[in-house]
């Protein structure tokens, strides 16, 4: 199936999940995750009205930004190494993956150099899996408090990557916990839900869905 049909199906599933949860569809944003997707296929989703694009590698991100039209919203969704921060500040709309204090300091420093405020989400490792990046739920309150001392960073919400499981119902508690954490800290945005679990994420309050495979098909490598 083509990208256009895939996107139609995704949008319909999002709509139905929003109806089930009594949520306003307008507030739910699809971020097309375009890692390892060619520019020509990215243009197809842009033609279908997608303006939010997510990448997890800095090199690929910056290369694509230069060839695609201005006016798109770029999201850095993958782990960001401190030595790469300088390439994304001023280029992306939102960094979803603030996952350490060292990274926060580096983002702050470069944002300051640019005379701008960097918009971020704090990545939370809800499941506690060792393989996952993110601040633990226990550390989150102190982390958010400390971030107040970095005025060139503004925190707009939380992000999580749920465990990869067969039955998406299994990750519902993680999404719910992220929502409660965000609410407890008056944070607006919730970046959660990928191809396997985005309908559950919508039901649990996600407003930024990060969707790759559902739109572009499986990545070969
Ligand atoms: C690849 C990736 C996604 C998209 O995954 P799909 O399962 O293909 O939808 C979402 N978030 C992050 C952080 C990713 O690296």
Q: Output the DSSP codes for 114-179.
A: TTS-EEEEEEB-SS--TTS-SB-TTTHHHHHHHHTT-TTEEEEEEE------SSGGGGHHHHHHHH
Instruction: Return the DSSP state at 102.
Output: H
Residue of 34, 54, 158 with the most ligand 1 atoms within 8 Å of its CB, for mutation: 54
CATH of domain 3-216: 3.20.20.10
- Ligand 1 mean position to 191 CA, how many Å? 11
Q: Residue 62 and residue 91: Cα distance in Å, rounded?
A: 8
To 5 degrees, how large is the angle CA 182–CA 138–CA 55?
A: 55
The percent helix, strand, coil of the chain (3-state, each to 5) is 45, 20, 40
The pLDDT > 90 percentage for the chain reads 98
Q: Residue 168 and residue 152: Cα distance in Å, rounded?
A: 37
Mean pLDDT, the chain, as a whole number?
97
- Ligand 1 mean position to 160 CA, how many Å? 11
The residue assigned the tokens 């701008």 is 116
Q: What are phi and psi of 124, to 5 degrees?
A: -115, 130
Task: Count Cα neighbours of 76 within 13 Å in the Cβ-side half-sphere.
Answer: 31
pLDDT of residue 208: 98
Residue of 31, 55, 77, 132 with the most ligand 1 atoms within 8 Å of its CB, for mutation: 77
Ligand 1 residue neighbourhood (C-beta within 6 Å): 33, 35, 56, 77-78, 161, 194-196, 210-214
Count Cβ atoms within 10 A of the Cβ of residue 30 and give its class: 0-12 exposed, 13-18 middle, 19 or more buried. Answer: buried
pLDDT of residue 221: 53
Q: Residue 98 and residue 78: Cα distance in Å, rounded?
A: 9
Calculate mean pLDDT across residues 69-98: 98
Would you place residue 1 in the very low, low, confident or very high pLDDT band (cuts 50, 70, 90)?
Answer: confident
- Ligand 1 mean position to 113 CA, how many Å? 31
Which atom, in ligand 1's list, is nearest to the CA of 215? 9
SS3 of residue 155 by DSSP? strand
Which atom, in ligand 1's list, is nearest to the CA of 210? 10
Residue 221 tokens, joined? 């490598």
Calculate mean pLDDT across residues 160-181: 97
Calculate mean pLDDT across residues 29-58: 97
Q: Which residues pair with 155 in a beta bridge?
A: 120
Q: Residue 5 and residue 8: Cα distance in Å, rounded?
A: 5
195 near 208, Cβ under 8 Å?
no
Which atom, in ligand 1's list, is nearest to the CA of 35? 1
Residue 146 tokens, joined? 């400390």
SS3 of residue 159 by DSSP? strand
Give per-residue pLDDT as tens, 99-132: 999 999 999 999 999 999 999 999 999 999 999 9
- Ligand 1 mean position to 149 CA, how many Å? 31
Calculate mean pLDDT across residues 169-177: 98
pLDDT of residue 219: 82
pLDDT of residue 164: 93
E strands along the chain, which residues? 29-33, 52-55, 73-76, 94-98, 118-123, 153-159, 189-191, 208-211
Would you place residue 16 in the very low, low, confident or very high pLDDT band (cuts 50, 70, 90)?
Answer: very high
To 5 degrees, how large is the angle CA 13–CA 15–CA 20?
A: 95
């Amino acid at each position: 199936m083509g990208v256009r049909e895939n996107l139609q199906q995704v949008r319909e599933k999002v709509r139905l999940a929003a109806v089930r949860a009594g949520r306003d569809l307008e507030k739910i944003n699809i971020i097309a995750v375009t890692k390892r997707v060619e520019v020509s296929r990215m243009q197809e989703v842009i033609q279908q009205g997608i303006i939010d694009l997510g990448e997890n590698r800095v090199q690929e991100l910056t290369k694509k930004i230069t060839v695609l039209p201005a006016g798109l919203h770029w999201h850095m969704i993958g782990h960001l190494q401190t030595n790469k921060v300088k390439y994304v500040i001023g280029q992306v709309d939102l960094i979803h993956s603030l996952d350490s204090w060292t990274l926060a300091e580096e983002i702050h420093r470069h944002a300051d150099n640019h005379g701008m405020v960097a918009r971020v989400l704090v990545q939370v490792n809800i499941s506690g899996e060792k393989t996952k990046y993110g601040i633990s739920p226990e550390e989150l309150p102190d982390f958010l408090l400390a971030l107040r001392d970095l005025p060139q960073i503004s925190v707009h919400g939380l992000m999580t990557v749920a465990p990869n499981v067969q039955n998406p119902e299994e990750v519902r508690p993680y999404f719910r916990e992220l929502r409660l954490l965000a609410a407890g800290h008056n944070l607006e945005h919730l970046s959660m839900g990928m191809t396997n679990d985005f309908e559950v994420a919508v039901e649990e309050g996600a407003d930024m869905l990060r969707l790759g495979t559902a739109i572009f098909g499986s990545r070969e490598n």
